[in-house]
Every structure is written in C-alpha cells, then in structure tokens.
A = this chain, B = another copy of it.
Amino acid sequence: MNGRISDGMQAEQVVKAFAALSAAQAARLARAASRKLAVLSEGTRNKALETTAKRLEENATRIVSANEEDVRAGEELVRAGKMSAATLERLRVTAKGVHEMAERVRGVARLPDPLGRRVAVTELDEGLVLTRETCPLGVVAVVFESRPDVVPQVASLALKSGNAILLKGGTEAARTNEALISIWQDGVAESGGLPDGAAQMLQSRADVMELLSLERDVDLLIPRGGKEFVESISRQSRIPVLGHGEGICHVYVHEAADLGKAERIVMDAKTDYPAACNSVETLLVDETVAAEFLPRIVRALRAAGVEIRGCERTLAIVSSGAVRAATEADWATEYGDLILTVKVVGGLNDALAHIHEFGSGHTEAIVTEDVEAAETFLNHVDASGVFHNASTRFADGYRYGLGAEVGISNGKLHARGPMGLEGLTTYKYKLRGSGQTVAEYKAGRKFTHRAL
C-alpha cells in the first residue's frame, strides 16, 4: 500500500494505509490535519465526538472480542512470568467498559470549548488592539502502556482541543487498540468535515524512536507509564515532553491534627489504589502526637496488609515486630505498593524540610485543625498539589473537575498536575492595526496600553 491515502478509499483501507506509514509520514499527515482541525467550529468538533461515541457503542462486540484475543495472549505471558497479573487486569475491556468509554467521550463533548478564548485584550493605541487568544498546540503524541481506554480518552481530548494526535500503545493491547482507533477513524470520517490524519496509531517500537526526533511536526510528547519509561523518553526526545517521573507523596500529621481524620486520610491515601502516583509513600508524624497516633495507625495499616518501614523514633514507639527500620533509600522511593515509610518529625519546619528534600513535587498533604499551620504548609510546600485535611488521592483530573485527563505533569512549565484540555492548548497574539509602524512610537508617539 506504500502508505498512500486517496480520496476514494474506504475507512478500513485508510486505516491499513495509515498502518503502513512511517512515523515521519504519519507526523507530516498529522501536521497537515492540524492546520484544518485548528479552524473547525466547536459544533463540528462536538458532532464528531458524538458520532464516535455512538460508533464505539455500536461496535462493543468487535472491541470486546479483539480484547479477548489480547487477554488470551496476555494470560500466556502471565503464565510464562513475562507479564504481571496487574498489567493483565489493566488490559481487560468489557462491554460495560466500552459503554463507559463512550460516555466519557460524550462528557468531553460537553466540556466548554477550550479554543478561541480571549485571555486578554489590550488597546496598545487607538486603532491598534492586541488580543491574546487560546488555540491548539497542533500535533500531540501520546505513548502509553496497556490500558486501551487511553485511546478514546486521549483522542477525544485532542479532537475537542483541535489537535491532531499520534498514539502509540503497548504491543500487549495491539488488537484492542487497533479496533478502537479504526472505529474512531470511521466515526470521524462519518461525521464529515474533518481531515484525514486527525487521529493515527503508530505501530512499532521503531516508530517511537523515530517519533522522538520529529520536533518539526510534533509539538508535544506525553509519555504515560513508569518512571524509567518517562525518563528515557524525556532524555532522548527533542520534542517538549510533559509527564510525571514519580509520585513520592507525603501526609504530615500535625500536632493539632484530628487523629480520626488523620487515620481516614492515611488509610485512603495508602490503600485505595497503591499503584497510583498520588498514593502516599511517606507518613510524617509530629513528635507531640506520635505516641498516641503511631500505635493506632500502625495497627490499621497492618490490618490492611501494609508493610511499614520506620525511622528510629518510630521504632522506639511501635513494637518492632510491626515495623522494620527504614533505610536512607526508602525515603526517596516510590513503592507503588502496600509499603509505607513513617518518620517522626519535630514540627512543621522539619516536615517542610523533609518534603522538599524527598518529595517529587506531586501532591503533599497536612492534617491539622490549626488553620494557620495549614496555610503555612499550603504556601510553603513547592508541589503541584498541596492539600489540607484531604487524601492525596484527590489529585486527579476527573476529581478536580477538569473533565478527562490527558496526563499528570510533575514539571512546573506549561501544565502542572492533572492536565486536561487546557494543557493541549497554547495561545497566539492577534494584533489588529491600521498601518502602524514602530518607528512612529520611537519618534515619540505614546502607547495607551489600556485593558479592554
């Protein structure tokens, strides 16, 4: 097929042709598509989302049976010890799951339009008006592992924000992903008015390596996966990368904490979903409440199957059978598992110092009834999420009310924390004049610089 796309081709053929495109060709096509997507009306984008959502539901059987093949192959790998049971679980797609995917696509359609928002309007002078307006980034590439529901989630956010998208999923979900992207492309084509190449799936690992060098045609790269995966992509790419390396989150139980709240929050933050990046890894306990709180929380954690690694002062308070000694490396480790390090600290400043030394800037929480101490914590801690009396697990695009989430960023530039539609937009300055030149202003004419 040579990767040639012609107008007369059926959607299925187009998908096959896309599959034959190199990453560079796909990115070129995406760039061309992005020029057209950027100027589509909100109505056209939303209609396409509604159509694809419907198509997904209509094709639930096809998606589930493609997934069954992936799962069967995955079961072999689990038996051979080449895949974890957790990865296999993340791979599974049910008919209910397809329905949820479709509902989420509809949810994205209902979000406010992120494009064409006038962030600022300034009159520079009479007849010379500057408008700063949101617009799409252009071409966004997402490289992800296992979970196939990433395909409609990310594709819908990209379409809503007028971006072309390049996706590369894990080989373990290849059949499911292929079915999803093919149905997605059918829906987009059926909706009408959208360019070819708005959403494409890259096929091979070699494509990913090629992708990293395509800075001319790809504006943003979002790796979704483990720490080493994200770091390796960041190191090798010349394209800006947003992602999160790690989540070493802390809960600090202050001297004025309500210990009931503290227990609920710590249990939730550790056990609700230990593999999540917003789960707590280290519990900091104020020395004034350590004797009361530690035995209680250790009992609850142990009952939930949590292994505890404590500092010397923790070991001195809690019977040593329940807690083993933490090493220096423990404080800097994201377990992503039912393991928690515990440290007794001398007060708020101690807690801040520990968090700034070992935290990853993801999410940090204080439990206290002292509002002043809470505000000091929220102001001083340098992290994307700073929480008072709430579980670190709330750090999530859906819970934050951003709609779906395209990823979480640990960096401070562009998007910090859960990244929704806004993270997929940039802005441009539109200047509307009537023949003005800079030389006039150098010669003495004054700017008015009036906000409109």
Residues of chain A whose beta carbon lies under 8 Å from any beta carbon of chain B: 35, 38-39, 122, 124, 128, 130, 135, 137-138, 219-220, 234-235, 238, 240, 242, 258, 260-261, 264-265, 267-268, 272, 356, 374, 378-380, 382-391, 393-395, 399-401, 411-414, 416-417, 426-439, 441-442, 447, 449
Task: State whether B438 touches A378 (Cβ < 8 A).
Answer: no
Distance in Å: Cβ of A383 to nearest Cβ of chain B? 7
Top-10 shortest CB links A-B: A390-B433, A268-B437, A261-B435, A401-B449, A393-B438, A412-B426, A414-B414, A413-B414, A387-B431, A389-B433
B contact residues around A426 at 8 Å (CB): 412-413, 416
What is the minimal beta-carbon distance from A428 to any residue of chain B, in angstroms? 6
Cβ–Cβ contact B264 & A399, under 8 A = no
A391 contacts B437, C-beta separation under 8 Å: yes
Say yes or no: A272 contacts B437, CB within 8 Å.
Answer: yes
Known: A399-B438, A399-B447. 10 other contacts (CB 8 A): A128-B394, A220-B413, A265-B435, A384-B429, A386-B429, A389-B435, A390-B431, A390-B432, A416-B428, A417-B428
Residues of B within 8 A of A387 (CB): 430-433
- Can you list 5 A-B contacts (CB < 8 A)? A35-B382, A383-B428, A384-B428, A385-B429, A413-B413
What secondary structure prevails in chain A residues at the interface with B? mixed
Residue on B nearest A380 in the bound complex, by CB: B39
B residues in contact with A388, CB < 8 Å: 430-433
User: Does the CB pair A389–B434 fall under 8 Å?
Assistant: yes
Instruction: Tell me, in angstroms, the Cα distance from A19 to B247 when the chains sit together.
Output: 36
**A100 → chain B closest CB, angstroms:** 14
Return chain B residues, CB-CB under 8 Å to A389: 432-436
Q: Which residues of chain B have C-beta atoms less than 8 A from A38's C-beta?
A: 379-380, 382
- Chain B residues with CB under 8 Å of A267's CB are 437
Residues of B within 8 A of A411 (CB): 240
CB pair A437 B382 closer than 8 Å? no
B447 and A429 contact, CB distance less than 8 A: no
Chain B residues whose CB sits within 8 angstroms of the CB of A264 once the complex forms? 435, 437
Nearest residue, chain B, Cβ from A416: B426
Most buried by B among A128, A413, A442: A413
B436 touches A391 (CB 8 A): yes
CB distance from A277 to the nearest CB of B (A): 13
